[in-house]
Amino acid sequence: MSLPTSLSRCAALLLACGAVPALADDTDSSVMYRCPGNDYKNTISAKEAEKLGCKRIEGAPVTVIQMTKPRPSTATAASGGARVDPVAQRARDTDARRILEGELRAEEEKLAVMQKEFNNGQPERQGDEKNFQKYLDRVSDMRAAIARKQTDIAALQREIKKLPPPLPQ
């Protein structure tokens, strides 16, 4: 075995064991650098610090900030994580269905009145509508109000469909 070969093997062995960290890595995590903009780094090499314009800080104290455990959410804490009683949930669903169906009936009645007044786009002119543009503006407003009402009705119907079916009586 030649001398250069044995030296290279020895160096490789020392590097693998971590006996010569300066040869393996140019960074030293115990050295702290203060870079422009008050940016503190300990994971860069001396060459990188010089390029960035960082200054070495001798004997810099290390601060460790302990993390606190997150608190449980208030909803989980208040209910204890317990599930709602199925009978109580069924009663809530029944009440919700009753309320939504009542709102749906009321909105459908309002829509019927609006459509009757709209008269298929030909509502009667009112006394203050001598200006035809004023009449057209009112017709446009009526058309938009009917479209909004139809959207509201569709939303109520979707909400009712989300609820479980009512119990057979």
Question: What pLDDT, on the 0 to 100 scale, is given for residue 71?
Answer: 76
Element housing 77 (H / E):
helix 74-79
Q: Which of 50, 53, 52, 55 is nearest to 32 (CA)?
A: 55
Element housing 57 (H / E):
strand 55-57
d(CA 87, CA 91): 6
d(CA 163, CA 93): 7
d(CA 21, CA 15): 7
Tokens matching residue 81: 């994580």
Q: pLDDT digit string (tens) for 87-111?
A: 899 999 999 999 999 999 999 999 9
Tell whether pTM > 0.85.
no
Question: What pLDDT, on the 0 to 100 scale, is given for residue 25?
Answer: 45
Q: Are 97 and 166 in contact (CB under 8 A)?
A: yes
Q: How far is CA 131 from the centre of its chain?
A: 51
What does the pLDDT average to over 114-118? 95
Question: What pLDDT, on the 0 to 100 scale, is given for residue 21?
Answer: 44
pLDDT above 60: residue 15: no
Q: pLDDT digit string (tens) for 20-66?
A: 444 444 445 567 888 888 787 878 888 988 998 988 887 766 666 77
What does the pLDDT average to over 111-127? 92
